[in-house]
């Protein structure tokens, strides 16, 4: 049986044992080694060629961020999932790691959690990410060199990082696009993302000019992390970025990130769009949820809405995209080659709700054209 080969890196013996025990219970995963710091991890990556690495952030000798940078500099493209803490410092370090080339992250269980609760929490967070980022496959011979890019449609051993040039896959090229409807003005841009989203949002927001409409964003992230993300995005370009606040007016040229663990919805109040936050139940196991945001945006502006679904696990955004299309709005999704995980955008595209499937590097231009031109930008193409 093919299994995903994982290297576990953490300076804590307790955490290494916990993670190893959780992963070893799943027959699809094989823990092939452990390492107590980043320096040892680099040696074991060379020796063991794992399919995926779990990496602690703070470690002696070489921390996780430095280890990720060294892995990428050496040409290792395995997905790396960071282990982080739910603190300001942990959030900042995790975003640094993602910027350095890490693929995703999970948060460590709280210190008050029982062993049973800690095991369950780690399993719930970590296993789905491992299997999405590095699905079980037949192992290649240990001595075989890294394969060169090939024209075959088979998925690569490790996900292509956002921004890399790549040919469309057979799955993406088979997607049936929605035809553009009657030209409508755009009054709001709504964006949803998850795994790989912080890097994708950085590239999108950094490339946008000051738009004549507000932009609202759901990125699946816990509290504290979203505040740090908003601060980082705010430094990238002319668009002002905020973590959304209750009853905050949504101003043109500004972007608003949903706070972690709160749904962000848009309301039309006294002639203006305002943000509303609530603690309603998770949707698609997520809070904030993209579907919640998109449905509320449709209620607020009807078809005068541009929705963008970026890289992420799961199918959050699919039902919301349907509502956008039915109201007469436009839906863009990121393509598979430039997505870390083509779950959310793929779910929208394969359901038939996308007007365009675009490389990440093209989305800012299409958003700008769609918003600023009297007619819709030409979105009837696939990358």
Q: What is the pLDDT along the chain (383 residues), one digit of tens a residue?
A: 789 999 999 999 999 999 999 999 999 999 999 999 999 999 999 999 999 999 999 999 999 999 999 999 999 999 999 998 878 888 999 999 999 999 999 998 876 668 888 889 899 999 999 999 999 975 444 444 444 444 333 333 333 333 333 334 445 555 777 777 667 899 999 999 999 999 999 999 999 999 999 999 999 999 999 999 999 999 999 999 999 999 999 999 999 999 999 999 999 999 999 999 999 999 999 999 999 999 999 999 999 999 999 999 999 999 999 999 999 999 999 999 999 999 999 999 999 999 999 999 999 999 999 998 743 444 443 34
DSSP state of 342: B
Contact 221, 261 (CB under 8 A): no
Return d(Cα 225, Cα 244) in angstroms, integer: 13
- Give first-to-last CA distance, the chain, whole Å: 35
What SS3 class is residue 107?
strand
Residue 203 φ/ψ, nearest 5 degrees? -70, -40
Which residue in 198, 167, 8 sits closest to 101, CA to CA? 198
Q: How many residues does the chain have?
A: 383
Residue 308 CA: distances (Å) to CA of 90, 188, 198, 318, 331: 29, 11, 14, 11, 6
Q: How many CA atoms lie within 13 A of 300 on its CB side?
A: 29
User: Which pLDDT score, from 0 to 100, does residue 109 have?
Assistant: 81
Catalytic residue among 76, 220, 242, 355: 220
Question: Is 114 a residue of the active site?
Answer: no
Question: Is 316 a residue of the active site?
Answer: yes
Residue 68 CA: distances (Å) to CA of 95, 322, 380: 12, 38, 38
Residues 157, 159, 164: CA angle, nearest 5 degrees: 120
Catalytic residue among 194, 202, 339, 383: 194
Return d(Cα 99, Cα 81) in angstroms, integer: 13
User: Which pLDDT score, from 0 to 100, does residue 114 have?
Assistant: 82
User: Which pLDDT score, from 0 to 100, does residue 333 have?
Assistant: 98
Contact 320, 291 (CB under 8 A): yes
Which residues lie closer than 8 Å to 170 by C-beta, 6 or more apart?
A: 153
Strands 272-278 vs 4-9: parallel, antiparallel or unpaired? unpaired
Return d(Cα 26, Cα 190) in angstroms, integer: 37
Beta bridge partners of 218: 192
Catalytic residue among 316, 339, 355, 383: 316
Return d(Cα 252, Cα 215) in angstroms, integer: 8
Question: Is 194 a residue of the active site?
Answer: yes
Return d(Cα 314, Cα 272) in angstroms, integer: 33
pTM: 0.86
CB atoms inside a 10 Å sphere around CB 348? 31
Contact 214, 255 (CB under 8 A): yes
User: Which pLDDT score, from 0 to 100, does residue 167 have?
Assistant: 39
Return d(Cα 247, Cα 266) in angstroms, integer: 9
Crossing angle of helices 197-207/225-234, nearest 10°?
Answer: 30
Which ranges constitute the DSSP H helices of the chain? 13-24, 38-48, 64-73, 88-100, 115-133, 170-173, 197-207, 225-234, 290-301, 318-327, 344-350, 360-372
Domain 170-372 indexed as CATH 3.30.420.40: no
Same fold, 4-133 and 170-372: yes
User: Which pLDDT score, from 0 to 100, does residue 378 have?
Assistant: 41
Q: What does the pLDDT look like over 228-251, one tens digit per residue? A: 999 999 999 999 999 999 999 999
Dihedral of CA atoms 17, 20, 25, 27 in degrees, nearest 10, equals -160
Contact 353, 181 (CB under 8 A): no
User: Which pLDDT score, from 0 to 100, does residue 375 have?
Assistant: 39
- Domain-by-domain residue ranges, the chain? 4-133, 170-372
CATH number of 4-133: 3.40.50.2300
């Amino acid at each position: 049986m093919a299994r995903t080969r994982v290297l576990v890196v953490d300076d804590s013996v307790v955490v290494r044992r916990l993670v190893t025990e959780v992963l070893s219970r799943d027959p699809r995963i094989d823990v092939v080694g452990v390492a107590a710091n980043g320096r040892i991890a680099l040696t074991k990556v060379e020796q063991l060629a794992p399919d995926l690495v779990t990496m602690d952030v703070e470690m002696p000798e070489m921390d996780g961020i430095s280890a990720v940078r060294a892995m990428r500099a050496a040409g290792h493209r395995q997905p790396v999932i960071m282990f982080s803490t739910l603190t300001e410092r942990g959030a900042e370090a995790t975003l640094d790691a993602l910027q350095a080339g890490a693929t995703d992250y999970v948060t460590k269980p709280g210190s008050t959690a029982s062993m049973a609760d800690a095991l369950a929490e780690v399993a719930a967070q970590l296993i789905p990410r491992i299997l999405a980022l590095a699905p079980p496959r037949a192992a290649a011979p240990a001595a075989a060199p890294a394969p060169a890019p090939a024209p075959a449609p088979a998925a690569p051993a490790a996900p292509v990082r956002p921004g890399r040039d790549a040919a469309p896959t057979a799955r993406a090229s088979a997607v049936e696009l929605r035809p553009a409807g009657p030209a409508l003005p755009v009054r709001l841009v709504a964006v949803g993302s998850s795994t790989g989203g912080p890097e994708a949002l950085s590239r999108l927001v950094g490339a946008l000019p000051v738009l004549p409409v507000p932009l609202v964003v759901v990125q699946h992230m816990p509290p504290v992390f979203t505040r740090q993300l908003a601060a980082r995005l705010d430094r990238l370009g002319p668009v002002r970025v905020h973590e959304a606040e209750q009853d905050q007016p949504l101003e043109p040229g500004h972007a608003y990130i949903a706070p972690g663990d709160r749904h962000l919805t848009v309301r039309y109040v006294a002639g203006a769009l305002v943000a509303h936050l609530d603690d309603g139940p998770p949707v698609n196991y997520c809070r904030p949820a993209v579907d919640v945001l998109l449905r509320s945006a449709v209620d607020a502006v009807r078809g005068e809405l541009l929705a963008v679904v970026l890289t992420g696990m799961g199918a959050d955004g699919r039902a919301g995209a349907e509502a956008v299309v039915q109201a007469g709005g436009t839906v863009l999704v990121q393509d598979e080659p430039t997505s870390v995980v083509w779950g959310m955008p793929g779910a929208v595209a394969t359901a038939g709700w996308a007007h365009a499937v675009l490389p990440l590097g093209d989305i800012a231009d299409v958003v700008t054209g769609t918003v600023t031109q009297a007619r819709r930008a030409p979105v009837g193409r696939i990358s």
